[in-house]
Amino acid sequence: MEVIVVGSYEEASEKAAEIIEKIVKEKPDCTLGLATGSSPVGMYNELIRKHKEEGLDFSGVHTVNLDEYVGLAPDHSRSYRYFMDDVLFNHINIDKDNTYVAKGIGDMDENLKEFNDVLEKAQVDIQVLGVGADGHIGFNEPSKCLVAGAHKEKLDESTIDANQRFFNSRDEVPRSAITMGIGNIMKAKRLLLIVNGNKKEAAKRLLTDDLVDTMCPVTFLKMHRDVTVILEEALAAEIGYKY
């Protein structure tokens, strides 16, 4: 596991964008696995800047997103499809037909079948991840068993609390999501985790012992061959991570 310790969120975003840029340049038809939430927003801004100012070309790039809220239509302003269009796709030269965000409304069995089919066919070159305070990746919440494939997941109360900042009230936060499973995530060639925000416990579990625990799903990253974690030095100091 490569751990890059940085001084600020801006630096984390720049480092993450450089990693994505290198892949896009080396393999113009690559598949990027993408995440929503706050952690990757700075990286998306930096990729937009690289596109506009330096001509970074996304015309051949494919993407697949980690998850989508159940019950929100793609044009709902809090859906993850809307989020991705808004924070990235509308500002770069990607073909939206080559971007996939699972559907959160309609027949869920059909949606999950489609999501699993997409994931079966895709070879994700790099999967971008954030981590929840409870250790979730995608929406794989802590549990006695984790699910390998794409599935519907009930959100933990702590995740609903954390995500209410994106909604007008807590009541509006969807109670479930469809998400890549832990197996889908582990099949990506490379994983890039941006640790941002109050993620002390999850970061500690990931970086300061050698245990893999379904009750802290981010610890599964310890079993992947090619993982980059970007961490701010204040958090590294807080968890006693030596580098």
Task: Summarize as ranges the residues that interact with ligand F6R (CB under 6 A).
Answer: 35-39, 66-67, 130-132, 136-139, 196-197
Shortest Cβ 159–ligand F6R spacing (Å):
7
Comparing CB distances to ligand F6R, the nearer of 60 and 222 is: 222
Comparing CB distances to ligand F6R, the nearer of 39 and 63 is: 39
Q: How far is residue 157's CA from residue 135's CA, in Å, rounded to a whole number? A: 13
Q: How far is residue 138's CA from residue 177's CA, in Å, rounded to a whole number? A: 10
Comparing CB distances to ligand F6R, the nearer of 52 and 170 is: 170
**128 beta partners:** 192
DSSP helix/strand/coil, 66: coil
Comparing CB distances to ligand F6R, the nearer of 59 and 175 is: 175
Residue with tokens 């993408």: 34
Q: How far is residue 206's CA from residue 212's CA, in Å, rounded to a whole number? A: 8
Shortest Cβ 215–ligand F6R spacing (Å):
16
Q: Which residue is nearest to ligand F6R (CB)?
A: 130
The DSSP symbol for 165 reads: G
Shortest Cβ 74–ligand F6R spacing (Å):
15
Beta strands in 25-114 (DSSP E): 31-34, 62-65, 67-69, 99-100
Comparing CB distances to ligand F6R, the nearer of 137 and 216 is: 137
Question: In 3D, which of 174, 207, 203, 232 has the Cα closest to residue 15?
Answer: 232
Shortest Cβ 82–ligand F6R spacing (Å):
13
Shortest Cβ 112–ligand F6R spacing (Å):
16
